[in-house]
Amino acid sequence: MTEQRLVGYIKKYLSLGHDKDAVYRRLVKDGWDAGDIKEAINIAEQQNSQRKRPAKKNFIMIILIILIALIILGALLFIYLKGDIYMKSNAKLSCISQFGMTCSETEGCSGRWISASDTERCCSAACA
């Protein structure tokens, strides 16, 4: 069974960027068994790779959340703008901008009555 102290030493120096072979040579020089060193290096590399996986999963989850948020924001913006355009297209125009004539209460309309924003008596033709 490989000592945790050896595994910890190897993990530390590999994480600091030291070359695996250099760490191996140093440990052999210090009197550690070559088989124990190889086993500890394998364990240290496995533990380091297992720690890196959640970071990748977290990164992917963050990207997915951002994409979903952008899609939702885009949909809401589309709905808002579509509603704004719809409201503008249904907005009443003034009588004169529709080329109508404003008739008095006593006058009738020789054409048809037009819905206008500034009066309830907008005629498409001359007042009669």
Domain map (residue ranges) of the chain? 4-91, 92-128
Is residue 89's pLDDT more than 70?
no
Taking the C-alpha atoms of residue 41 and residue 51, their distance in angstroms, rounded to an integer, is 15
- Per-residue pLDDT for 109 more than 60? yes
Per-residue pLDDT at 119 exceeds 80? yes
Residue 56 burial (CB < 10 Å; 0-12/13-18/19+)? Answer: exposed
CA gap 50, 43 in Å, rounded: 11
| pTM for the structure as a whole | 0.39
Backbone angles phi, psi at 90, to 5 degrees: -95, 0
